Amino acid sequence: MIAEFRLPDLGEGLTEAEVVQWLVAPGEQVALNQTLAEVETAKAVVELPSPYEGTVSSLHAEAGQTVAVGAPLIAFEVEGEEPEGQDAPVGGEAAEGEKAQPNLVGYGAAPSTAGRPARRARRIGGTPPVADTAVLEAAPHDAAPSASVETVVERPRSTPPVRAHAKRLGVDLVLVAAEVGDRLITRHDVDAYAQRIGARQDDTVASTPGPSRVPRPTRDDRARETRIPIRGVRKHTAAAMVQSAFTAPHVTVFHTVDVTATMDLLAGLREDRALSGHRIGPLAVVAKAVCLALAGAPGLNARWDEESGEIVQYGYVDLGIAAATDRGLIVPMIRDAERLTLVELADAVGALAETARAGKTSPAELAGGTFSISNIGVFGVEAGTPILPPGQSGILAIGAVRRQPWEYRGEIALRQVMTLSLSFDHRLVDGAEGARFLKAVADILEEPGRAMLLS
């Protein structure tokens, strides 16, 4: 029988995902849990394992297409007979008296339509809009409104960004739906329809004499700007940053510290053969210093709970490390970072960065976090004003390590220095607590032996 696999709920309230690439093709035999495709959500690239063992019958989406949660993604030919007189229920409600198809772990609850309101039907009457007659002739009779009969049609399936895009182009989604059928209308469908209509209008204008024709932009004119869709990780990050910037009152303080002793320590660790399999850098030392200093600054390891009217202080440190990727900025977490040694933290930071660059960070690794670090020094930047991740009260940006003249033991010497930039939520943290925390981190970096007093 034919079994359809619908896009599952990937967690964190995500409503759609974009197909990055298919790893199977129609006619290919697949095994249970074999990876079918990579999809990009608003947070990460996720691999989808197969819930069936069988032969791929068809793919319902192309690479680059955005698919809504619950929409058909791929169809399989699997063993078993299809019930007579009805379609086999797949990925949704089982028929009465029929055993439901089990879900794979991590796919969330099975989609259910019970108790959900049906999509609102849209009543259309009066004079029909100006439409592409070729499309109307090829489409079903109820694809467009009639001039004499009031018709009730179902609102075309699309996402709000696609509807806004269609409105900007003057495209009626009812006519697009007549071409694409009952599947979700994508931005590509709208653009393709608009391009066809524009080509026909150009032919009409070209055949009409007169000086009123406005020339279309040339290819060179269009090449002067590039439009990139706002989606995936970048869209999620933008919304989160706007929310944070206009919710939490940010305060940023700076402190420049002599980290020569820390750099000497790292040089010695690199020469230790017992640590040859570990890459311990300044970020790992800062992470360890942050975990130690947070013990004396509970306000910086907390969140403001507006609904309950409480400040929630954490007894653990889920340390976020900001990572720049080709898809945008993400902040994966190192869980219970305060329990890790310096070497373990270095290994965790390295694994986190490698996974992020490969686009394999899971949504679970991006959820939560109690305090974050942003290493802007890798770009040669000395200082900045980082924005708080939503739900966190503190974030520390570490600048580039640079050699410069510095007062050292009463004389001027060439030392290695680093600027620390701490942003915090002034609702939870006052200036004194923020300054004490920043000074505690700086003291450890200036004299790493001080960590022995805090651990």
> In the annotation, is 250 catalytic?
no
In whole angstroms, what is the distance from residue 166 CA to residue 160 CA? 10
Instruction: Phi first, then psi: give them for residue 25, nearest 5 degrees.
Output: -140, 160
CA dihedral 37, 40, 45, 51 (to 10 degrees): -40
Packing angle, helices 282-294 and 342-357, rounded to 10:
120
Q: Can you say how many angstroms the Cα of residue 435 is from the centroid of all Cα atoms in its chain?
A: 33
Considering the candidates 188, 250, 278, 426, report the single residue annotated as catalytic.
426
Cβ neighbours for 200, distance < 8 A, ≥ 6 positions apart: 132, 134
Per 3-state DSSP, the chain is made up of helix, strand and coil in percentages (nearest 5) of 30, 25, 45
For 51, half-sphere exposure in the C-beta direction (CA atoms, 13 angstrom radius) is 19
Whole-number Å distance between alpha carbons of 408 and 413: 6
**What is the chain's alpha carbon radius of gyration, rounded to the nearest angstrom?**
29
Q: From CA 236, how far away is CA 118, in angstroms rounded? A: 28
CA proximity to 401, closest of 269, 283, 251, 272: 283
- Token digits for 11? 């967690």
Residue 321 near residue 352, CB atoms below 8 Å: yes
Name the nearest CA neighbour of 304 among 420, 388, 397: 388
What amino acid positions are annotated as catalytic residues?
A: 426
